[in-house]
Amino acid sequence: MAEGGEEEDFCENYFLLKVEEASFLDFVRILWCNDLGQRNFFKAKKTAASGKLRSFRHRWIVFISLLLQKILLYLKKPMAAAGSALEMFLNFPAFNGGYLSLFSNLFTGRLVRPDKESERFASLVGNLDKRLNLDTKMVVREEYFAALAMMGAKLSYENQSFVQKVVSNRWQMELLGFYNFWNDFQELNTTSAIMFRDTTADPNLIVVAFRGTQPFAADDWRTDVDISWYEFKDVGRIHGGFMKALGLQKSTGWPEQIPPPPPSPPPPKSYAYYTLRDKLKTLIDENENAKFILTGHSLGGAMAVLFAAVLTIHRQDLMLEKLEGVYTFGQPRVGDDEFGHYIKRKFKTYNVNYNRYVYCNDVVPRLPYDDKVFFFKHFGPCLYFNSQYKGQVLEEEPNKNYFSPIQAIPKIINAGYELIRSFVLPWMKGEEYREEWLMKVFRLTALVFPGLTDHFVVDYVNLTRLGKFT
């Protein structure tokens, strides 16, 4: 990658949308004017440099992407406040000895306020699915890896104390790191990941799990619906937001090494790709038999597969030989067809096992839009499971762009079935499949917006335990 120069000199081509700069008049221009020029909210290079959006379909997709991002931008603070309040409310029983003690403490003035950094404080994701134990029935190596990867991806949503307790006490494993990483473009810590080691596995297995889209985090959802991309020579077009979260550098792109930080304050910034790569190198040097897997749910799945992609760009042969597999759950699209061919070729060369799980009508794997204009594509086989947890290996998930009027009624009917199933499943499969009351409430909302609850971790944990391929 090129070094120095302007912000985008490191790539061959790019198409960038900056929703913060878009005015109401700009939205009108998108729909009625096919020549945007280089306006504040729109930046492109090479073939797109003139700002030409040739068809109405082209402009319509840009309009929808910007509109959704604009709405999420306005809702950012209310969503965060609602999510924080809901998490506090959900954690009151755990901090007060259960519901009966909670009511007693409330009326006697002894109410204990939840501490967000405590090992007892569970995130919204953790409250939607409170299962913490691993499935001990897994004996097939690939099934065990998939189930462990999903539980690691779920655990990555929790705070450090919570993660430490689960990894050490429940799983009898070793927590190697809990990270919050810097985004060079947003100038914030936007990416989180955990790293732990299963010393009972053969070979010794290290798991890197990236945190995914948090339900009330508007910025995470903005990234999912963004259609911005960068194009790299001989690699293809890759989603801009995902790369920035992984550690893309503003003016140098993906240099193999970044300059060391200055010796004086402020403290050095930590970037996801570089920090995790160097940590893994150290661990592999210490134990030549060690292997590692990459995993993540939602946005975390995009981080996982792009981490492996950048390893191939930097020709990290030894690390790629130690990469046992990439496991993603509800992963959005990360690049175009050229990128897909590139990464499939590299994964085949290094014998990397790529497993992309999709549950039923989950909306996120259908984002960003797969369109002949914007080129976002999935690659590799899709491990697709329906609402009965029956799996198929497909080239692409059904209804690949989600927004289909023809599919609306079947999706609503399926959401109704999932609501009924939430009451029936524990009687059929055991108490570990009993859903929390909050999850049932969200199941009701799926009757209006089917596919939203299909993205939650509950069904992805279930499919790794109950799923069977037909």
Residues annotated as catalytic are 298, 362, 455
CA dist., res. 444 & res. 353, Å (int): 37
CA dist., res. 378 & res. 380, Å (int): 7
Nearest C-alpha neighbor of 125 from the set 156, 99, 80: 156
Q: 3-state SS of 327-343? A: EEECCCCCECHHHHHHH
In the numeric block, the tokens 């893309």 are attached to 248
CA dist., res. 449 & res. 411, Å (int): 9
Phi, psi of 257 (to 5 degrees): -130, 145
**104 burial level (CB within 10 Å; 0-12, 13-18, 19+):** middle
**119 burial level (CB within 10 Å; 0-12, 13-18, 19+):** middle
Paired with 188 in beta bridges are: 183
CA contacts within 13 A on the Cβ side of 34 = 7
Helices (H) and strands (E) in the chain, counts: 15, 13
Helices (H), 252-313: 272-286, 299-313
Instruction: Please give the structure tokens belonging to residue 438.
Output: 């909050």
The answer to whether the beta carbons of residues 384 and 391 sit under 8 Å apart is yes
At residue 212, the 3 state secondary structure works out as: coil
CA dist., res. 293 & res. 295, Å (int): 7
Nearest C-alpha neighbor of 179 from the set 149, 205, 211: 211
In the numeric block, the tokens 């947003």 are attached to 186
What stretches of 135-215 adopt beta strand conformation (E)?
Answer: 174-183, 188-198, 205-210
DSSP class of 13: E
> CA angle at residue 440 from 435 to 445, to 5 degrees?
150
- Considering just the CA atoms, what is the radius of gyration of the chain in Å? 22
CA dist., res. 172 & res. 461, Å (int): 20
Phi, psi of 384 (to 5 degrees): -100, 130
CA dist., res. 391 & res. 77, Å (int): 39
Q: Cβ atoms within 10 A of the Cβ of 441, count?
A: 11
How many residues in total does the chain contain? 470
